[in-house]
């Protein structure tokens, strides 16, 4: 039979590949990585499908650019293909390892791209100032306002300095614990807490309604002294 004559054809058989993938679903990240480094393409695919969303979202939220996020996601998994042996399970999870690599690639890309750096601490947008005026009402009538709020928060997060942005994204948007975030960033948990506190203060400052900002500049000054 032709299928049994060539192992390559067996590997490319969708049914066979599906069975292999199903068998790999229950494997741990580390085991998948080990198999991937031994040349198992299905293990690589399974690992990618399991971890790509987190990597892509983190890169997207850090950069604000889909192009950058796609490039970085690809680079991260290429890095894993060639340098997977550098992962040490004793030092943390593979997810934290991947996000740490993602962070490095994104920061390298952002530093190379001066246009993105220009939207720094002084980033202003009209929609950001109105975000705090919206009421937390889940009524369908407020759907447009809710979308505006989300957009304003997204822009405010994107305008944060990198070290605060990454903490907000990991802790608030990716809903990781302080410990996991510290693992990704390679810093102490206390540092994560203090950066998150400062980041939230900056976000509040950016999302403050413009009329309130102009009416009470002293509040802004106080907020800047949190760190």
- Residue 152 near other proteins by CB under 8 A: yes
Nearest to 208 by CA among 225, 221, 194: 221
Return d(Cα 21, Cα 24) in angstroms, integer: 5
Q: Which stretch binds other proteins (CB under 8 A): 78-86, 94-102, 104-112, 179-187?
A: 78-86
Count of residues near other proteins by CB under 8 A: 44
- Residue 74 near other proteins by CB under 8 A: yes
Sign of CA dihedral 220, 222, 224, 227: negative
Nearest to 183 by CA among 200, 164, 199, 170: 170
- Residue 126 near other proteins by CB under 8 A: no
Nearest to 184 by CA among 80, 101, 69: 101
- Residue 189 near other proteins by CB under 8 A: no
Tokens at 116, concatenated: 């993105």
Ramachandran bin of 134, using left for φ above 0, alpha for ψ from -120 to 50, beta for the remaining angles: beta
In whole angstroms, how far apart are CA 37 and each of 9, 25, 97?
Answer: 22, 17, 16
- Among residues 48, 50, 107, 163, the one that binds other proteins under rule CB under 8 A: 48
Query: What is the maximum alpha-carbon separation in the chain?
Result: 82
Give the nearer residue to other proteins in terms of CB position, either 91 or 188: 188
Give the nearer residue to other proteins in terms of CB position, either 116 or 167: 167
Give the nearer residue to other proteins in terms of CB position, either 163 or 200: 200
Tokens at 217, concatenated: 């500049």
Give the nearer residue to other proteins in terms of CB position, either 28 or 143: 143
- Residue 132 near other proteins by CB under 8 A: yes
- Among residues 17, 52, 145, 213, the one that binds other proteins under rule CB under 8 A: 52
Return d(Cα 130, Cα 18) in angstroms, integer: 50
- Residue 53 near other proteins by CB under 8 A: yes
Applying CB under 8 A, the residues found at the interface with other proteins are: 38-39, 41, 44-45, 48-49, 52-53, 55-57, 60-61, 69-70, 73-74, 77-78, 81-82, 131-132, 136, 146, 149-150, 152-154, 157, 168, 172-175, 196-197, 200, 203-204, 207, 226
């Amino acid at each position: 039979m032709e299928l049994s004559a060539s192992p390559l054809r067996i590997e490319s058989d969708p049914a066979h590949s599906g069975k292999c993938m199903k068998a790999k679903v229950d494997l741990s990240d580390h085991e998948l990585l080990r198999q991937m480094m031994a040349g198992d393409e299905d293990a690589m695919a399974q690992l990618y499908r399991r971890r790509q969303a987190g990597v892509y979202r983190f890169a997207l939220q850090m950069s604000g650019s889909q192009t950058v996020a796609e490039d970085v996601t690809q680079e991260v998994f290429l890095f894993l293909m060639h340098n997977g042996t550098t992962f040490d399970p004793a030092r943390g999870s593979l997810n934290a390892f991947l996000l740490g690599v993602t962070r490095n690639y994104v920061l390298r890309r952002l530093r190379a791209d001066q246009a993105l750096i220009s939207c720094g601490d002084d980033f202003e947008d009209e929609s950001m100032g109105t975000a705090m005026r919206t009421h937390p009402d889940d009524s369908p009538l407020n759907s447009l306002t809710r979308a505006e709020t989300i957009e304003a928060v997204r822009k405010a997060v994107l305008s944060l300095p990198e070290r605060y942005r990454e903490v907000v994204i990991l802790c608030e948007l990716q809903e990781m614990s302080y410990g996991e975030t510290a693992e990704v960033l390679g810093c102490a948990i206390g540092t994560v807490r203090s950066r998150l506190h400062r980041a939230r203060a900056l976000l509040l400052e950016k999302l403050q309604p413009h009329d309130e900002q102009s009416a009470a500049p002293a509040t802004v000054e106080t907020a800047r002294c949190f760190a």
